[in-house]
């Protein structure tokens, strides 16, 4: 019989955040967070993203006021709120990635 106190440690190297839903002008935005690992091709473009863990975070007015066309601003805020740090921002559309 397995112990109810057993656990697995997983290391996710990447975090994605998808505003769902995002309404222009909203003072509260929910983000679906997806932690996982990725593979890259020789040109450095993301090829695959393997989902390991899901989460959610809701940001309100003070946190989203500076969010414009530069997503690194909001991603930095999200990292700060979940207790991690972003060391690099990568844009990509991996072939097998579906955030929903």
pLDDT tens sequence across 60-75: 988 888 887 888 889 9
Instruction: Give percent of the chain above pLDDT 90.
Output: 25
The pLDDT tens digits for 28-61 are: 999 999 999 888 889 888 888 888 989 999 999 8
CA distance 44 to 41: 5
Closest CA to 65 of 96, 20, 37, 27: 27
pLDDT of residue 4: 79
What pTM does this model have? 0.77
């Amino acid at each position: 019989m397995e112990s109810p106190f057993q656990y697995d440690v997983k290391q996710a190297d990447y975090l994605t955040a998808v505003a769902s839903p995002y309404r222009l002008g909203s003072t509260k935005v929910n983000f679906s967070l997806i932690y996982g690992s990725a593979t890259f091709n020789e040109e450095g473009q993301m090829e695959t993203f393997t989902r390991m863990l899901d989460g959610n975070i809701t940001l309100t007015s003070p946190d989203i006021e500076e969010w414009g066309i530069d997503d690194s601003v909001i991603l930095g805020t999200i990292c700060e709120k979940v207790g991690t740090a972003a060391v690099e921002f990568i844009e990509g559309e991996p072939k097998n990635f579906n955030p929903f």
